[in-house]
Amino acid sequence: MKITAKYNNFSYSCPKRKPYVPSFGISFKAPKLLSDIFIRQSNQPAQKVFKLKKLKAGKFGTECKDSTPLKSFDDSVDFEKLKELYKNGFSTNTDGWADCFLKSKANNPLSTSSVYDCSVMYLFNKDTNTHFLYHSSFRSVQKDFDFLIKTFMPEGFTKAEILPGTKRWLERHSLTLPEMVKAIQANNKQAEINIRHYNSKMPEVVGYMGELYEIPNHRIEMGFYDKGQASFRMCDLKAKSLISELDFNSSSIEKLETTRQYYKQGIPDIEIMKIINRELDKNLQKLLEKDISKK
């Protein structure tokens, strides 16, 4: 199967994993104790340390003792700026397929929707004004998150926000969140970490200037297999599929450069193109070294 990314009239496809269809006959046991440590920034030299605990099913989504509800994006941003932000922002696919990601300057909103048994990891770097939003499968473990952080946020991050999906999947979220947090802390022990939860039924989740918000879901009927919504320009990319596609298309220098131009025409954001160019440059260097060794 393939994913298709569209921007204006441009469309391209690349391999993707088959979307996960949950089996209702499988049950998962939540850990008895979630002992992973979160570190928040403070004005004091010593960091405040607390534990992720009392994970529970809230009114709309999975919550924990220290989580706070998502604020309304529209109500939190100056009205005069909203039109520009809706024009400049990006959205993932609306089907809730995991492994989808977005990256841009932090003043360009990033959104995803249909977060059911999945979770969202959002990273922000205040020094570079960049941010990264990842819609994660519940199957993801620490090494997966570590790969994503190193690959798509090589500049590092100063703040992280995490969000589990709907309350129905409490047990699965209890597996994902500790793994996500361990990876975040392994890459930056001093980063501020905040935990959020839904404040309405199946909202569109938005990352903007270092914080997660929500846009209410405007569909009248919302069933398990309903499509979500994309309030911004859609840029449907899968993290691991993208890297695999770049590697596959780097069998020769000519094919590699054709691939570079192909993505350059269709990717609407410079921050994502930086990642693509970096990966292609690494592959190009390998090809050049291979040619030299043959001589």
Digit-coded pLDDT (tens) for 163-175:
999 999 999 999 9
Q: What is the pLDDT of residue 259?
A: 96
Look at the block and give the residue holding tokens 């060794």.
293
Digit-coded pLDDT (tens) for 143-200:
999 999 999 999 999 999 999 999 999 999 999 999 999 999 999 999 999 999 999 9
The pLDDT mean for the chain works out to 84
Q: What is the pLDDT of residue 9?
A: 39
Global pTM value? 0.81
The residues, ordered by sequence, that sit 6+ positions from 90 with a Cβ below 8 Å of its Cβ are: 102, 104, 108, 109, 110, 111, 232, 233, 234, 235, 268, 269
Digit-coded pLDDT (tens) for 72-131:
999 999 988 999 999 999 999 888 889 999 999 999 999 999 999 999 999 999 999 999
What is the C-alpha to C-alpha distance for residues 186 and 193, in angstroms, rounded to an integer? 13
What is the C-alpha to C-alpha distance for residues 260 and 264, in angstroms, rounded to an integer? 6
pLDDT surpassing 70 at residue 65: yes
The mean pLDDT value for 277-291 works out to 93
Please list, residue by residue across 228-267, b when 16 or more beta carbons sit within 10 angstroms of its beta carbon and e when fewer do: bbbbbbbbbbbbbbbbebbeebbeeeeebeebbeebeebb
The residues, ordered by sequence, that sit 6+ positions from 25 with a Cβ below 8 Å of its Cβ are: none
